Amino acid sequence: MSEARGPAGRADVEAKAKELDAGDQLAAKRAEFVLDDGVYLDGNSLGALPVHVEARVVDVISRQWGSLRIRSWAESGWWTAPERIGDRVAPLIGAAPGQVVVSDSTSVNVFKALVAAVRMIRDEGGAGAAARDEIVVDATTFPTDGYIAESAARLTNCRIVPADPADVPGLLGPRTAVVLLNHADYRAGRLHDLPGLTAAVHAAGALVVWDLCHTAGALPVGLDEHGVDLAVGCTYKYLNGGPGSPAFLYVRRGLQDRFDTPLPGWNSHVEPFGMRPGYEPAADITRGRVGTPDILSLLALDAALDVWEGVSMTAVRAKSLALTDFFLECVEAYVPAGHVESITPVAHAERGSQVALRCPDAEGVMKRLVQQGVVGDFRPPDLLRFGFTPLYLTFADAERAARVLGRTLAEASTGS
């Protein structure tokens, strides 16, 4: 096994891990999750299961569905669940109640937000409104966002302008209708400047849509504070809602009566049970809905959100930064020189809640890590990606993961 190297030896980082864990304000939260004796660093793909969710889902199936059946739409609150659970997500992303609805997938919500944004900007009237025919899209975005943006552009007779987020202000102009940006790069974990970019988009007279998939539940977002127009995000990563749990859509209150959805389903009708042939949208965030809610997944998410009771997002962010700082310190201590390169920003203001390491044969290395109980993920062509979920990870976890990584790479280099 390789010995620790660099400025801190193994004894030093182990001692530091114990010290940091002893002072962890969120340490008690770990007991609220189902975990094994490994190190789970893939919460940026699928969060761990909160311990109480199983019993709640059993109740939904056996009592609400099994016994109450159709009555549960009213008696169990099924019908209003998308808005009620949206109000539970809202404070985690810096939004007041009545601005978030939980429904559909991230991809569907991106489509709704982009098309509606183009329609709203053109309907504003004024000089040049009709000429706004460009959708600026984060060129580093998760592929689906790009696919959806291309479709939205065809539907609205717009053209796509791909851009690195840092270059967006220089590309904005009188033809810009909407800008789609990721709050954090899913590969490197780079955090983009939500306040500054939002202000730049507004100065150009356009609307902005933020994808919060890799930040919701990991750090303060401040949607209301920074005047964000629209935002989307998944709930199965840092919010721990379960595989395929429904996504959320945020529509700023001042835009809700103008939100012109391209998917006008019966659930967003002002009178859904009136069964009218003509569509008339609801006046509030309800118009972000489309069809019948996915009740089983939705209520599993509702149960999972209980773990956030009493949690400060400021404390979550502080632990996230401390965990990622410490993990990088441990990598420096344990990993043989030249074997990995971190592409995650050093500056806290530019870092999300993950660490990405460039590494030869990254796919094979990750497979060997998983075999040893350290679960991260691989992103082609050469990235090891480790997500740090502050609610259930410890500093001892970070030290152990780096130690196993160092040993694995040392063994690979010697052929042992």
Task: Identify whether 186 is part of a domain.
Answer: yes
Same domain, 127 and 153: yes
Residue 352 to residue 338: CA distance in whole angstroms: 24
Same domain, 158 and 228: yes
Same domain, 286 and 321: no
CATH number at residue 317: 3.90.1150.10
Residue 67 to residue 64: CA distance in whole angstroms: 6
Residue 300 in contact with residue 241, Cβ under 8 Å?
A: yes
Q: Spot the catalytic one: 112, 237, 287, 289.
A: 237
Catalytic site includes residue 211? yes
Same domain, 191 and 226: yes
Same domain, 93 and 196: yes
Q: Spot the catalytic one: 111, 236, 378, 386.
A: 236
Same domain, 178 and 258: yes
Structural domain boundaries enclosing 356 = 10-26+311-414
Catalytic site includes residue 250? no
Name the domain boundary from 286, 308, 330.
308
Same domain, 336 and 278: no
Q: Spot the catalytic one: 190, 319, 385, 407.
A: 385
Residue 139 to residue 320: CA distance in whole angstroms: 26
pLDDT in tens, 208-244: 999 999 999 999 999 999 999 999 999 999 999 999 9
Catalytic site includes residue 167? no
Reported as type and span, the H/E element at residue 111 is helix 106-123
Task: Identify whether 39 is part of a domain.
Answer: no
Name the domain boundary from 287, 308, 329.
308
Catalytic site includes residue 236? yes
Same domain, 289 and 377: no
Q: Spot the catalytic one: 40, 142, 248, 386.
A: 142
Task: Identify whether 32 is part of a domain.
Answer: no
Task: Identify whether 16 is part of a domain.
Answer: yes
What pLDDT does 8 receive? 47
Q: Please state whether beta strands 383-387 and 377-379 pair in parallel, antiparallel, or not at all (unpaired).
A: antiparallel
Task: Identify whether 297 is part of a domain.
Answer: yes
DSSP for 18-72, written as a single string: HHHHHT-TTGGGGGGB---SSEE--TTTSPPPBTTHHHHHHHIIIIIIIIIGGGH
22 contact partners, CB below 8 Å, separation of at least 6: none
Same domain, 77 and 94: yes
Task: Identify whether 83 is part of a domain.
Answer: yes
Catalytic site includes residue 18? no
What pLDDT does 2 receive? 45
What pLDDT does 11 receive? 82
Reported as type and span, the H/E element at residue 231 is strand 230-233
**pTM higher than 0.85:** yes
Same domain, 132 and 249: yes
Name the domain boundary from 308, 330, 350.
308
Task: Identify whether 42 is part of a domain.
Answer: no
Q: Which residues of the chain have pLDDT under 50?
A: 1-3, 6-8
CATH number at residue 160: 3.40.640.10
Task: Identify whether 46 is part of a domain.
Answer: no
What pLDDT does 126 receive? 67
Count of the separate structural domains present in the chain: 2
Same domain, 18 and 140: no
167 contact partners, CB below 8 Å, separation of at least 6: none
Nearest CA to 267 among 101, 152, 70?
101
Same domain, 326 and 256: no
